[in-house]
Every structure is written in structure tokens, then in C-alpha cells.
Amino acid sequence: MTAAATAQDHVWLTEVLALAQRSRDEGHHPFAAMVVAADGTVLAAAMNASSSDRTAHAEMNALRLASQRFSPAELAGATLYTSAEPCAMCSGGTYWSGVGRVVYALSEASLLQLTGDDPENPTLAVPCRTVFAAGQRPTEVIGPLREDEARRAHAGFWQGGPATETY
């Protein structure tokens, strides 16, 4: 049985989608992520910085910040909110950080449609659920949610994808 998104999930997705647009506006890839505790406390928020460090995806940046300040026990009840489905690297980082829940907007399959063959985003077509299923503890996953809205920050950004899109 798949869990349903909550009203709070949509509140945090709104925040993370705005942060993804800010990432693009500041010259980075249009991705963002936030780690939020069960009580609604933001533990970490980050944008993408992979133009200078290919491992600096928004999810990894947020997870590193949260992991430096909070214990695995504290992170177990937290949620990673992300503008796009975590890639295989970010799914692994989520698992190893101990974050117990992921909510994402744009699916990896939809992202591939947007990026096409752009060398800036050589997509790994591995769903995050596949990565988490290989682990020894459960990670709850909710998504994709609000894909049309999530696509907006990507419109016209990727040279290998569609040049113009209206969403």
C-alpha cells in the first residue's frame, strides 16, 4: 500500500519548487531539496551546485548539511523533499543518511524527457524506489507529485531537451 501525500507535503513541495527556480535564476541547474523534521522544522535546504562539483546535487547538499548537525535517529523521522526524483547517487545518500521518507515532484522519466541528451545531465534511469528496495530498512517514497509545476523551472534550460515548452 502506497502512502498518500499530506497537506504538509504540498506546503514543502511548494517551497522546494520555488527554491529550484531560484537555483536556475542564480545560474545553477534547476533542482532543490529540503530535509524537514516530522515536527516541521527545516533541518537543511539546498540548491544544486553540480556545475562546480558533479556530486553536488541538491539532495546530496541538503543531506550533507542535515547529517552534519543531526543524528541518524533524528533523521529517521525526517522527510527529504525534492524537486525531482532522487537519482541513484542521491537515493544512496538518502539511505545512508538515515532519512526515512522521500517526497518528490518530477519523476526521473519526466526529467529525461526534458533533458534529452544534454551532457550536463546524463540521466541514470534507475527509479529511487529500486535503490531503496535494495536496502535493509524501509524508506517511504511519495511521488511524482505536481509534475507540470515542477517542469516550469526546466523549460528551455537543457540543450538536449525541448527548446520551448508551455506548462
**Distances in whole angstroms, Cα of residue 156 to Cα of each of 22, 58, 74, 105, 115:** 15, 20, 39, 18, 9
Asked if residue 139 lies in contact with residue 157, where contact means CB atoms within 8 angstroms, the answer is: no
Q: Letter for the amino acid at 48?
A: N
CA-angle at 165, arms to 4 and 23, nearest 5°: 65
Catalytic site positions: 59
The DSSP 8-state label assigned to residue 54 in this structure reads T
Closest CA to 125 of 97, 91, 158, 83: 91
Count CB neighbours of 51 within 10 A. 11
